[in-house]
Structure 1
Amino acid sequence: MSTMRGLTSKLVMYENFWYMTNSSIFRNVLSIQKNFVAKDTDIFITGLPKTGTTWLKSLLYAIVNRTNHPINQSPLLSHHPQELVYNLESDVYNEAFDYPRPNNLNELPSPRLLSTHISYMSIPESIKTSGCRILYICRNPLDVIVSAYYFTLGFVKNTIKDKDDQDSIVLPRLEDFYEDFCDHVLEYWKASLERPDKVLFLKYEDLIDHPVLHLKRLAEFIGMPFSSKEDNEGVVQQIIDFCSIKNMKGLDVNKNGVINKFFEKKSYFRKGEVGDWANHLTPFMVERIDRLMQEKLEGTGLSLKLHL
Structure 2
Amino acid sequence: MVTVETRIPALINKAGRKNHQEGGKDPHHDDIDQLIEKLPREKIMNWSLILHEDGFWCPERLLRPLISFQRNYDSKDNDILLATMPKSGTTWLKALAFSIVNRDIYSVSQSPLHTSNPHELVPFEFQLAGQRNRDEGRDYHVFATHMPYASLPDSIFSSKCKIVYLCRNPLDQFVSDWHFHEQMCWDVKPEFAIEDALDLFLQGKQNYGPFWEQIQGYWNASLKFPGKVLFIKYEDLKKDCRSVVKRIAQFLQMPFAEEEEKNGLVEQIVKLCSFESLSNMEVNKPGKWNANFRVSNNVFFRKGEVGDWINYLNPTSASRVASLMKEKFGDSGLTFEG
| TM-score normalised by length of structure 1 | 0.88
- Tell me, in whole angstroms, the C-alpha distance in 2 between the residues paired with 1:258 and 1:9: 21
Question: What RMSD in Å do the two structures reach over aligned CA positions?
Answer: 2.0
| Aligned match of 2:109 | 72
Post-superposition offset of 1:13: 4.3
Amino acid at match of 2:289: I
Check the 8 A contact 2:49/2:57 in 1, yes or no. Answer: no
- Tell me, in whole angstroms, the C-alpha distance in 1 between the residues paired with 2:162 and 2:89: 18
Post-superposition offset of 1:267: 0.8
- Tell me, in whole angstroms, the C-alpha distance in 2 between the residues paired with 1:73 and 1:19: 36
Post-superposition offset of 1:286: 0.8
Check the 8 A contact 1:5/1:173 in 2, yes or no. Answer: no
| Aligned match of 1:161 | 187
Deviates more, 1:4-13 or 1:42-51: 4-13
Post-superposition offset of 1:168: 7.4
> 2:128 matched to 1:92?
yes
Post-superposition offset of 1:133: 0.4
State the SS of the aligned residue for 1:219: helix
> 2:306 matched to 1:277?
no
In the TM superposition, 1:195-234 aligns within 5 A as 195-234=225-264
Cα deviation per residue 1:46-83 (whole Å; 9 max; x = unaligned)? 01110001101001111111121011100000000000
* Change beyond 3 A, Cα 1:9–1:105: closer
Post-superposition offset of 1:18: 2.2
| Aligned match of 1:18 | 57
Return the match for 1:135 from 156, 164, 180.
Answer: 164
Amino acid at match of 1:49: P
| Aligned match of 2:273 | 243
Check the 8 A contact 1:136/1:200 in 2, yes or no. Answer: yes
Post-superposition offset of 1:121: 1.2
Provide the identity percentage. Answer: 38
Amino acid at match of 1:249: S
Check the 8 A contact 1:119/1:187 in 2, yes or no. Answer: yes
State the SS of the aligned residue for 1:114: strand
- Tell me, in whole angstroms, the C-alpha distance in 2 between the residues paired with 1:126 and 1:9: 29
Return the match for 2:211 from 181, 187, 197.
Answer: 181
Q: Which runs of 5+ in 2 are unaligned?
A: 1-39
Alignment coverage as a number of residue pairs: 287
Return the match for 1:149 from 168, 171, 178.
Answer: 178
Which of structure 1's runs of 4+ aligned residues deviate more than 6 A? Answer: none
* Change beyond 3 A, Cα 1:11–1:66: closer
